[in-house]
Amino acid sequence: MTTDSTEDPYQERAALLSVCIVTYRPELAGLRETLESLRAAIARLEGTNTSITIVDNSMDGSLAGWLSDKFGDLSVHLLEGHGNIGFARANNMALDDVGDLHLVLNPDVVLSPDCLANALHFLDRHPECGLLTPLAMGTDGTRQYLCKRYPSLFDLALRGFGPKWLRRLFRKRLDRYQMTDMSDVDAFWDPPIVSGCFMLFRGAIFRKLSGFDPRYFLYFEDFDLSLRTRDMARIAFVPTARIVHGGGDAARKGLWHIKQFVRSGYTFYRTFGLKLL
């Protein structure tokens, strides 16, 4: 008995890596760098299918044609027209499409070509890891510290709004908060909080957590999600997964960003407890 089917019913299904990028009036040159680096990193993966969702909180509808022209080969699923609903709710719009692994990625991040391959290799060897954070460099070539200890109100005010002379005076304190003693060579387990610019989850963990807490419009949603993840799985800083990140400095982005930072900080401390000093 013969069959025309070429599929092997016993062949193991390829893992699915889903990627979600939230944009709001994106600077297209930067987004192009992000997507080009993502394309190159995906090309290094073996035995893994990928799906990419961009959730655009803008209202101008300008991304569809640009994506089709520049990145048609990536088959990006674009969600748009819903307005500016904030970072957390926008990411959660992709919950139904979360794969075996799920990457939350900012549109100002450039991945090294081997970033995803190295990250997936680490996750294969460490099934206890539910969330992975990378080694990040700024666009100026200096190291960024994506891992944090639980923040005191003083730490946040000092780091976000303190003048340079005051931050220099409390440098040791800020270094401790930002965990600057972490090696850039060895993996580090269980940092309390990691940045939302690149969060690589096991999909089952992200789904069980129901993604981000929608009470956060902008800022602190990654703090919240990190702390909730620790109740379910281990978090690992993996320096062989490398990125360049261009974000930060809420206080220097204007009054609207400062208001969002304060509002989200209030929600965070109401949820997890206030630490003054």
C-alpha span between 66 and 63 (Å, rounded): 5
Structural tokens at position 261: 């930072």
pLDDT digits (tens, 9 = 90+) for 93-105: 999 999 999 999 9
CB 218 within 8 A of CB 91: no
| Residue with token string 């639980």 | 150
Mention every residue, 6+ apart, whose C-beta is less than 8 A from residue 50. 16, 17, 18, 19, 42
* Amino acid (one-letter) located at 207: R
Global pTM reads: 0.93
Residue 5: the pLDDT is 40
CB 113 within 8 A of CB 40: yes
Of 250, 224, 218, 246, nearest in space to 90 by CA = 218
pLDDT digits (tens, 9 = 90+) for 246-276: 876 555 678 999 999 999 999 999 999 999 9
Residue 155: the pLDDT is 96
Residue 250: the pLDDT is 58
Residue 59: the pLDDT is 84
Cα distances (angstroms) measured from residue 107 to each of 3, 25, 45, 182, 246 = 47, 11, 21, 26, 9
Residue by residue, pLDDT tens for the chain (277 residues) are: 333 444 443 345 678 999 999 999 999 999 999 999 999 999 999 989 999 999 999 988 889 999 999 999 998 999 999 999 999 999 999 999 999 999 999 999 999 999 999 999 999 999 999 999 999 999 999 999 999 999 999 999 999 889 999 999 999 999 999 999 999 999 999 999 999 999 999 999 999 999 999 999 999 999 999 999 999 999 999 999 999 998 765 556 789 999 999 999 999 999 999 999 9
Residue 160: the pLDDT is 87
Please, what are the domains in the chain?
15-148+182-249 (3.90.550.10)
DSSP string covering 16-35: EEEEEEEESS--HHHHHHHH
Residue 259: the pLDDT is 94
Of 13, 123, 14, 105, nearest in space to 52 by CA = 105
pLDDT digits (tens, 9 = 90+) for 70-100: 999 998 999 999 999 999 999 999 999 999 9
